[in-house]
Amino acid sequence: MHIEPIKIWERFAAFFIDFLVVLAATSPIATLPILLAEAEATGNFQWSFEREFSRPTDGALAFPGVLSIFAALFAYFYIHPAIGRQTVGQYLLGFRVEGVPGTGKKPAFGLNVLFGYIGLCAWPVSIYLAAKRQDKAFWWNLRSRTRLVRIV
């Protein structure tokens, strides 16, 4: 029985959905220190503010939040395949990431996430290389011994 490979647009759509899920969950927590510092400076807490200048503490307060969002993204994309589960985006589009059977080596899910970030930065090259393959596999899946399978 031939199962159609996961299309490139499905992979991107699932990533975009998952990215929004992680961002929605982590952004409120990551921005809280900035909001609290602004409340301390103005004496009034608000969930959003606008100003035409920056404070010396803005960068120091934003940097840990940005790092925590990146760490949450990495963990989200690493943990789901490591425990054999789909992400929200993968669930909605009907596929999941798993290790390639019969390789004799464990799948490198962390490497898959890391290389996937690099592949997204070089997306024209990544899409070109995947489109040339019959299975539509991206180079980072091949390097990390992972594959995408349709859930039917």
Across the 152 residues of the chain, what is the mean pLDDT of every consecutive 10-residue run? 81 96 96 93 90 91 96 97 96 95 90 94 94 90 94 84
b/e 87-124 (16+ beta carbons within 10 angstroms → b): bebbbebebbbebeeeeeeebbbeebbbbbeebeeeee
Q: Which residues pair with 103 in a beta bridge?
A: none
Token representation of residue 78: 């690493």
Global pTM reads 0.86
Token representation of residue 10: 């499905």
Token representation of residue 133: 């393959």
Which DSSP symbol is given to 20? H
